[in-house]
Amino acid sequence: MKSEILALLKKYQPEYISGEEVSNSLQVSRTAIWKHIQALREDGYEIESQPRTGYRLTKIPDLLYPQEIKNKLATKYVGQQIHFFKTINSTNIMAKELANHGAVNGTIVVTEKQEQGRGRLGRQWISPQGKGIWFSLILTPEISPTEAPKYTILAGVAVAKVINRYIGIKTGIKWPNDILVNEKKVCGILTEMNAEIDKVNYIIVGIGINVNINKSSFPAEIKDIATSLSAESGHKVDRVGLLQEILGELEQLNEQFINGNFNNILAQWRQLSVTINKPVTITMLKEQFTGIAVDIEQDGSLVIQKENGQKTKVFSGEVTLAKKK
Ligand code: BT5
């Protein structure tokens, strides 16, 4: 009922709607309406009330509420089920729990703040309150475990394309999972899976985007490597709108992938990549070498041409781009 009342208020915005009209169209008592209005106010919605005129919505809070994300969301399944938390340890951890309990394909977990946001290999992902988009998408494609890394590629393309289009600033993808603006990291992706030997049960695509973070508020350990969309564009970014665009793009690319068109996604990745044709240093767990990143393969691996001309495929590791002279 609360969300139906909210929907009515939005429909009438910026005008008033009378208590009587709400009561008639939703078949609910005036006292119940008042209680729901109070609850909406507690959620951060600003609603004016006038004795004979009724109610008027004057401000929607800057929060990633499911009802806001779902409002006019143009997807069939991605983001149609939303689990929202004001604070959580990590959306990837919660997404795994939900997937283990049968969450449907396309479910997302979204939060305002992560207390144990995670990067790869147990690294930390800094996720301050109300300033970013920290979310995880659960997908259940019928693929083999070797195909899972393709989801990092797919998600990178989705985020980079949307930032270019929606915010109008130029992004690049650094293999395997970083989205950069002006050579600094604005987004990281953590793809995890649950699988048997030859079948994926589910994929979790965790995406963290620094949206409205002041450069000065990044902690010392990342202030030289991180940036945010507001810092780069010079204006505050509408997080709900941005997330809706990303969910739409993720669904479209996922459809391409499951219909056998991963090549199309790879072609877009090559266009957006800041790694291809660049001198790079690759750091793996036990090894480090340099070369030119010449291509990305179907399996999501990066092809490096070493100085002796030999080509080698890299499946995981850290890429450092040579500094511009
Ligand atoms: C990543 O790991 O870049 C993957 C980050 C994925 C975060 C999302 S948020 C929603 C979901 N839930 C989670 O718990 N995680 C996912 P990696 O490539 O390992 O990079 C981690 C490194 O990036 C850290 O060691 C820092 O150097 C740096 N870093 C940490 N927080 C950052 C931030 N907010 N912005 C930019 N860089 C950051």
CA of 47 from ligand 1 middle (Å) equals 37
Q: Is any ligand 1 atom within 6 A of the Cβ of residue 226?
A: yes
The pLDDT tens digits for 222-253 are 999 999 999 999 999 999 999 999 999 999 99
Judge contact between 5 and 22, C-beta under 8 A: yes
| Phi, psi angle pair for 134, to nearest 5° | -115, 110
What is the model's pLDDT at position 207? Answer: 98
Say if ligand 1 is within 6 A of residue 188 CB: yes
Residue 121, C-beta contacts closer than 8 angstroms, at least 6 positions apart: none
Contact between 288 and 314 under an 8 Å Cβ cutoff? The reply is no
Ligand 1 centre distance from Cα of residue 151 (Å): 16
Closest ligand 1 atom number to CA of residue 117: 14
How many residues are given for the chain?
Answer: 325
Structure tokens at 70: 């779902």
Eight-state DSSP code of residue 301: P
Question: Does any ligand 1 atom lie closer than 6 A to the CB of residue 96?
Answer: no
Q: What is the pLDDT of residue 223?
A: 95
Q: For strands 108-111 and 82-85, give the pairing.
A: parallel
In this predicted structure, the answer to whether residue 325 has a pLDDT above a threshold of 70 is no
pTM for this model (two decimals)? 0.95
pLDDT (tens digit, 9 = 90+) per residue, 15-53?
Answer: 999 999 999 999 999 999 999 999 999 999 999 999 889
How much is the pLDDT for 324?
59
Q: What are phi and psi of 143, to 5 degrees?
A: -135, 170
Half-sphere exposure of 260 (CA within 13 A, CB side): 0
Output the six-digit token pair for 184.
């600094």
The span from the CA of 214 to the CA of 194, in Å, is 36
Model confidence over 175-228: pLDDT tens digits?
Answer: 999 999 999 999 999 999 999 999 999 999 999 999 999 999 999 999 999 999
Compute φ and ψ for 245, nearest 5 degrees. -65, -40
Give residue 140's Cα distance to chain centre: 18
Whether 210 and 229 have beta carbons less than 8 Å apart is answered as yes
For the cut 80, the answer to whether the pLDDT of residue 119 exceeds it is yes
Q: Residue 72: pLDDT band by 50, 70, 90 thresholds? A: confident
Q: Is 190 in the pocket of ligand 1 (CB under 6 A)?
A: yes
For 287-323, how does the pLDDT look when each residue is reduced to its tens digit (9 = 90+)? 899 999 999 999 999 999 999 999 999 998 899 987 6
* Neighbour-count burial of 263, counting CB atoms closer than 10 A to its CB (0-12 exposed, 13-18 middle, 19+ buried): exposed
**What pLDDT score was predicted for residue 322?**
79
